[in-house]
Structure 1
Amino acid sequence: MRTKNRLTAKGIAAAAPGKYCDGGGLWFVKRPDGGGQWVLRFTIHGRRREMGLGPYPGVSLADARRKAEEANAKGRENVDPIKDRERQRKEAVRNLHLFEDVARDAFESRKAELKRDGKARRWFSPLELHVLPKLGKTPVSEIDQMDIRDTLAPIWHTKAETARKAMDRIGICLKHAAALNLNVNLDATDKAKALLGKRRHKAQHIPAMSWQEVPDFYQSLNDGSISHLALRLLILTGMRSEPIRFIREDQISGDVWTIPEDGVKGRLDTTREFRVPLSPEALRVIEQARAFERNGYLFPSSGKKSAVISDNTMRKVMKSRGLDAVPHGFRSSLRVWLADCTDAPHQVAETIIAHSIGSAVVKAYLRTDFLEQRRALTNRWADFVTGKSSGEVVKLVVGQ
């Protein structure tokens, strides 16, 4: 009797349930329902093993013999065909990771570092808008500098800052993929930058109102609406729009407003939270805003999509008056007033508008947030914008 190829296609189709040897370690196991399973028995490193080669009739006799021969060839080279198949399967899975999946996993991993756990999705939006529509369904292992160049070329010069952020996010995603043991080209972003060339981008300052014009504008915000009150508080404190919009009743204690760490842009000090001294005028504005309080927020949204007013609410007030200046510009108005009309030290002036100052080493040793110095200056700023004092130069006297 032949030692190999003992079975025939017609024979296994008509065979009764049971086990049949084709030779060379290949066995056919027939089930009562007419289906079956191909099994290869072999010895590797002195160990007896069985390897499934697939179901019958999905895998034909010819296919089973081919698979058995390939596995036996591996065995003759002292390579375990079962482990080798598993290795190939894992490699195939790794290579099939799509960029979209890696990007979303990278975003999830970084949420703890982002404001409010990244709920606003600002970190992810450059990818979502400009990268995923083109590269999302591409296996991450196949992405190279040409793909990245072609993806970002349309916005590289016209939307330079967005393109920079998108390129940065792509680099982070590739590093994340590498950490997952995926085979990626970590130099792809640098090479893509070289292909795209230097961005034609001229930095533009945020439009701001001169400090001399602020008092008249402040006085015009007099209808007691949420948007007017929010703008008044933004002008008085010099804070960014986001912490103003998300201010809560429980963040205010006496005449100090403590912005939690996830509402602070950058790391201002060793505590990360940021204390804002509130002038009597700021406290008056907050008292008026309490009439609108909902779920703890002083400036709640009238809609259902967001808990607080949108970033555009205050901007609309200024735009409706034909002003080029925007709410964020009042931080510049305050900072220039501090430079022109006070002798505030640089570190104190920068801290007033919540700018990070100094290196990590400097911050480690400079363990103060200049609260009282800032209080004296913001009180004088409040007097100026409400018309209680002129713009003449004032001396910084702590405790006033």
Structure 2
Amino acid sequence: MVSKRARSKLSAAFVRSAPIGKHNDGGGLWLHVVSDARAKWFYRFSIAGKRREMGLGSLSDVSLQQAREAADAARSLVRVGQDPIIQRDKQRRDTLRQDNSLEKIAAEAFEARKAELRDDGKAGRWFSPLQLHVLPKLGAYPVSAIDQRLIQETLGPIWHTKAVTAQKAINRLGLVLKHAAALGLEVDIQATSKAKALLGRQRHRPTHIEAMAWQDVPDFYASLQEPTVANLAMRLLILTGHRVKPVRFLRLQHIEGRIWTTPSELLKGKKDATEAFRCYLSDEAARVIELAKPFARDGFLFPSMRKGVMSDATLSRMMERKGLKARPHGFRTSLRVWLEDQTDASFEVKETMVQHTVGGAVERAYRRTDYFDQRKPLYDEWSRFVAGNE
């Protein structure tokens, strides 16, 4: 056994002003001063013929006395042949098992998945079904106690009335249970599947966004001739087949000549920064861009009257005021049906025109084309039809 005198080589005064480097307190306890602002304790030991180092915390959090006590505890384990690092990890897992509420594990699961979500999940769409419909009732339950009956009781009231939201909530809950299982917790990862069997088939039928018949688009387009921000945004939306968000957040820097390149973060379901989308600007679309430029503010082509970009409800309200059932998103359907009825373009080209992903990941990896040259004349043809220039 190493004597206390042989161990306690450092003083509190020295520790407070220790120079950069490693300083031995004896008995395996070391202070490593990395910089003037950063220093940490570690315990060096040998077990089974291998030398290991165990971090004991930073100097700002752990005093000299506390570091010595931690080293003494670790040293006691080494004397009986136990690895203090392994024992500490086991203790942390045991502590986790004691604090395994569904709310805590759901937050951890969300944190682990952020890298897969658009903008790291800042919009909250992934977590909100759990936060609104599951955690208020089940959040305090240990995750190991979550079973199909609890899930049925929780989601039963919205299973048919808010079918899409309920499906999202139960699917997210299934992912949380799988995360808990990966942590080594005892959970029933089949609980959500069993709950679905108890809840039964949903009566809800999804309603599709109303779309305008392609034959009626030219008359509507003609009603947008006044060069207001909203009218110009609607015209560009119709001409390009884009969703509303890329139009609202269109920046002048996205346009180079006749090519509008939308970055992946503005595209639905695109997380890879390489998956930008190129759209060709027809003569009519280029004219709309020029008309919109005087309204540009802070780099956005379609700004709000106050600050930032135009509201996502602006174009929908415009159509409501005109007494129309169709909505802005529906013009993508108008374009897609026109392509089907009036052109002989391939399926892949027609789907790419409305930014739909075609084929599996392996197929897309080998195809490596966005059909831009094939799409270019279709934008021209559609624009001539819409603007009445045929």
Question: What pairs up with 1:210-221 in 2 under 5 angstroms?
Answer: 210-221=213-224
Deviation per CA, 1:292-322: give whole Å up to 9, x if none.
3233222233455xx3223211111111111
Q: Distance in 2 between matches of 1:104 and 1:287?
A: 47
* Percent of residue pairs bearing the same amino acid type: 56
Residue 233 (structure 1) aligned to one of 198, 211, 236: 236
Q: How much does 1:270 deviate?
A: 11
Match of 2:113 in 1: 110
Match of 1:35 in 2: none
CA contact under 8 A between 2:297 and 2:303: conserved in structure 1? yes
Deviation per CA, 1:148-204: give whole Å up to 9, x if none.
111111111112111111111111112222233333221111111111011112233
Secondary structure of the residue aligned to 1:213 is helix
Q: How much does 1:205 deviate?
A: 2.4
Q: Distance in 2 between matches of 1:387 and 1:87?
A: 73
CA contact under 8 A between 1:157 and 1:201: conserved in structure 2? yes
| 1:277 correspondence with 2:280 | yes
Deviation per CA, 1:103-128: give whole Å up to 9, x if none.
23322322222223323222222222
Q: Distance in 1 between matches of 2:222 and 2:121?
A: 36
Counterpart of 1:156, as a letter, is W
Q: Distance in 2 between matches of 1:359 and 1:230?
A: 33
CA contact under 8 A between 1:97 and 1:139: conserved in structure 2? yes
Q: How much does 1:87 deviate?
A: 6.1
CA contact under 8 A between 1:269 and 1:363: conserved in structure 2? no
Q: How much does 1:84 deviate?
A: 9.8
Output the TM-score relative to the length of structure 2. 0.72
Q: How much does 1:359 deviate?
A: 2.0
Q: How much does 1:284 deviate?
A: 1.8
CA contact under 8 A between 2:263 and 2:273: conserved in structure 1? no
Q: How much does 1:288 deviate?
A: 2.4
| 1:124 correspondence with 2:106 | no
Match of 1:316 in 2: 317
User: Using a 3 Å threshold, how does the CA distance of structure 1 residues 247 and 116 change in structure 2: closer, same or farther?
Assistant: farther
User: Using a 3 Å threshold, how does the CA distance of structure 1 residues 353 and 269 change in structure 2: closer, same or farther?
Assistant: farther
Q: How much does 1:265 deviate?
A: 2.3
Match of 1:16 in 2: none
Deviation per CA, 1:253-278: give whole Å up to 9, x if none.
11111111222224699942211111
Q: Distance in 1 between matches of 2:251 and 2:115?
A: 21
| 1:161 correspondence with 2:164 | yes
CA contact under 8 A between 1:95 and 1:182: conserved in structure 2? no
User: Using a 3 Å threshold, how does the CA distance of structure 1 residues 144 and 365 change in structure 2: closer, same or farther?
Assistant: same
Structure exhibiting the larger radius of gyration computed from Cα positions: 1
Match of 2:300 in 1: 297
CA contact under 8 A between 1:267 and 1:356: conserved in structure 2? no
Match of 2:335 in 1: 334
User: Using a 3 Å threshold, how does the CA distance of structure 1 residues 268 and 373 change in structure 2: closer, same or farther?
Assistant: farther
Residue 200 (structure 1) aligned to one of 203, 206, 214: 203
Residue 179 (structure 2) aligned to one of 156, 176, 179: 176
| 1:136 correspondence with 2:139 | yes
Counterpart of 2:212, as a letter, is M
Q: Distance in 2 between matches of 1:373 and 1:93?
A: 56
CA contact under 8 A between 1:270 and 1:364: conserved in structure 2? no
Q: How much does 1:329 deviate?
A: 0.6
Q: Distance in 2 between matches of 1:111 and 1:291?
A: 38
CA contact under 8 A between 1:95 and 1:183: conserved in structure 2? no
Counterpart of 2:342, as a letter, is C
Aligned residue pairs total 308
Match of 1:349 in 2: 350
Q: How much does 1:145 deviate?
A: 1.4
Match of 1:255 in 2: 258
Output the TM-score relative to the length of structure 1. 0.71
